[in-house]
Amino acid sequence: MVETGIMEMRGYEVAQKYVRYRYKRELTRKSNTTDDSILALLDQINENAKQENSNKNPTINSTQRDYMAGEVSKDLTMRVLLPEEIVKAHDEGIIHFHDSDYFAQHMHNCCLVNLEDMLQNGTVISDVMIEKPKSFSTACNIATQAVAQIASSQYGGQSITLSHLVPFVEISRQKYRRDVRAEFEVEGMELDEQKINEIAEMRVRKEVKQGVQVIQYQVITLMTTNGQAPFVTVFMYLDEVEEGPALGGAMLAAVGCGVYHTVEEAARAIVRVCDTISPEPQLVEAYEKHYATFRQVYPALKGIFPEI
């Protein structure tokens, strides 16, 4: 169209030069542009590739294989898949077309992981059906395995919420209660419900701490098939679930694991004000009167509470 317009304006020489220019540009766009960049990758001197993603170690083999495939994708993206004006703007630094090393494939970029569905209804990992976990610790293991599999099949980050793990705290709690009750029966001990619940709760707290450690250590040390460490956002909002005490236990476990230095720091990072309840002024006087009476009655009756 361009050369036709020039010819109509009798600019024959200009039209000839334009045709030759366009032909050379087409040859450049169609030519192989990956050899030098791949060789530079193997020699670890390809700075563009090394700096494209900070969560990849360019010195290990799996990362280099992924980068080599990425160079082919970049070549296809710039020569064939993108409009010329986008490529020109990228080359001139007007814009930066990020993740062109994955653009040639139909891949997802970042996701919010529906752990609730995967854990409650089962999921498939490496062609193996994973059923609903029977404990909190198993749920944590499955969650980290899901994170690793997803990170190996997409580019970008992912987000999970601990609220999807919380229901499994109660499953573990009921399991420990059954276990402790059975242990009492085997030993011929009196079935003291309060004592059974106390022992079961101690075991639950220990499992919650271990589960949080599993998530922390596995996510930190995992390496995906494309040679990168998965980067994950973990939401811990107490108002997402009814099982507030379990997430409170998770907060304590996070402090114990060193994620937070103090309980106060964990609370500042996690706790959100979701509602504020103010006293009704007309009832304050009546409540104050009854509270004063309670302050006198409670110490007087405290000694006979066990009998009641």
221 residue type, one letter: T
Q: Which two tokens stand for residue 84?
A: 């010329």
Residue 213 near residue 253, CB atoms below 8 Å: yes
Per residue in 250-288, pLDDT (tens digit) is 777 778 778 788 888 888 887 777 778 887 888 888 888
Give the rounded percent of residues in the chain with a pLDDT score beyond 70.
Answer: 79
Residue at token pair 């405290």: 302
Residue 160: closest CA among 180, 145, 175, 172: 145
| Greatest Cα pair distance in the chain | 112
Looking at mean pLDDT, say which of 23-27, 145-149, 233-237, 282-286 comes out highest: 145-149
Q: How many CA atoms lie within 13 A of 19 on its CB side?
A: 12
DSSP letter assigned to residue 228: B
Contact 163, 235 (CB under 8 A): yes
Work out the end-to-end distance of the chain between its first and last CA atoms, rounded to an integer number of angstroms.
97
Model confidence pTM above 0.75: no
Q: Which of 50-59, 85-94, 283-292 is predicted least confidently? A: 50-59
In 106-153 the beta strands, taken as DSSP E runs, fall at: 108-112, 123-125, 128-130
Residue given tokens 């294989």 in the structure block = 65
Q: For residues 287 and 279, is the Cβ–Cβ distance under 8 A?
A: yes
Q: What rounded mean pLDDT belongs to the chain? A: 80
Q: Running DSSP on this structure, what letter comes out for residue 242?
A: S
